[in-house]
Amino acid sequence: MQTWILTFNRPVALNRQIDAFKSWTDVHVFSNHPHVQLTDDNIALYKDQKLNVLYNTLSDPESIAYTARSWNNIFLKAFKTEEEIICVQDDTHVTAPAAFRDLILDNKDRFDLIWGPAGDQFFYVKKKVLERVGWFDERYLGAYCGDADWLKRVWQQYDQSKLSIAEAHDWGFSHNSIGVERYIPTGIQSKACDPNYVNQDQEIQAKMQGRNIVLEHSQAHFCQKWGHMLNGTKPINRTDLPFGSLLAEIPWYPWFEKKYMERV
């Protein structure tokens, strides 16, 4: 099984994440920054071709996160050959890697999606979910709202008995949780292990004179698409909310779907 780590120039977090998964999965790094710093042990792993590093060459060292497109790029790379993958952000702190490994391996045959505990921090996903639900919506910018949108679509369109969800955001909910929240904290202290760690909201506001227009755009797109605001509506699986998207999904990569997927 492959693990794909999405990284944003956070070397301490990245190497901590590689160490958490390298003993039981094939680790692939997808970097949105042109420089990836590895520890000596992980450099050796890379030289032995046991660690793969891919660079998003369209990204800029000063750019902010673009997670919707990044996850889609990871899907493009992984699902050409794989039927299941783990997706995890670099700063997601797995506190007990061995116990977490056992948790995922013991439950992955029961579920096609294991999600949690807060947004796209971590998710295990089978290709059949992508085939049924489609891509992350790249109209969401930065790291805002795209994870909630995709999860809402999965919830509405997929067999809910095959979903394990533990979502701690104010729009979140729990369903068939296997307990990933016991091993992944959601506080900023668990993420900010790098000296250069920057909160995305603060970074954008600093560049935009105190206004986060990236967040404003993404929230407006979610409201236009679903007929309700994301935050403050909780949870997104409420039955009294409008059902179904008001906007058509975009088949972002039709060539991939034609060659590598069986859309159902």
Count of CB atoms within 10 A of residue 34's CB?
Answer: 12
- Residues 230-259 have a mean pLDDT of 94
Is 2 within 8 Å of 78 (Cβ atoms)? yes
CA 205 to CA 217: how far, in whole Å? 14
- Residues 247-253 have a mean pLDDT of 96
Tokens for 3, please give them.
Answer: 């693990």
| Better pLDDT: 262 or 96 | 96
pLDDT reported for residue 211: 82
- Residues 217-243 have a mean pLDDT of 93
Our CA dihedral for 86, 116, 260, 72, rounded to 10 degrees, sits at -100
pLDDT reported for residue 61: 75
Considering the domain 2-260 in this protein, what is its CATH number? Answer: 3.90.550
- Residue 197's pLDDT band (cuts 50, 70, 90): confident
CA 151 to CA 148: how far, in whole Å? 5
Roughly what angle, to the nearest 10 degrees, separates helices 67-78 and 146-157?
Answer: 50
Which amino acid is located at 117 in the chain?
P
Which amino acid is located at 249 in the chain?
E
How high does pLDDT run on average in the chain?
92
Which amino acid is located at 23 in the chain?
S
Which pTM does this prediction carry? 0.94
CA 114 to CA 12: how far, in whole Å? 26
CA 155 to CA 165: how far, in whole Å? 9
Domain map of the chain by residue range?
2-260
pLDDT reported for residue 191: 80
pLDDT reported for residue 64: 65
Which amino acid is located at 233 in the chain?
T
First to last CA, the chain: 24
pLDDT reported for residue 168: 95
Residue percentage of the chain with pLDDT more than 90 = 78
pLDDT reported for residue 72: 97
CA 97 to CA 114: how far, in whole Å? 16
pLDDT, tens digit (0-9, with 9 covering 90-100), for 99-155: 999 999 999 999 999 999 999 999 999 999 999 999 999 999 988 999 999 999 999
pLDDT exceeds cutoff 90 at 208: no
Residue percentage of the chain with pLDDT more than 70 = 94
pLDDT reported for residue 204: 60
CA 115 to CA 180: how far, in whole Å? 8
Tokens for 6, please give them.
Answer: 């999405």
pLDDT reported for residue 212: 83
DSSP string, 191-218: H--STT---HHHHHHHHTTT--HHHHHH
pLDDT exceeds cutoff 80 at 200: no
pLDDT reported for residue 201: 57
- Residues 236-254 have a mean pLDDT of 94
Tokens for 237, please give them.
Answer: 């699986």
pLDDT exceeds cutoff 80 at 55: yes
pLDDT reported for residue 207: 60
| SS3 call for 26 | strand
pLDDT reported for residue 146: 97
| SS3 call for 4 | strand
- Residue 195's pLDDT band (cuts 50, 70, 90): confident
pLDDT reported for residue 5: 98
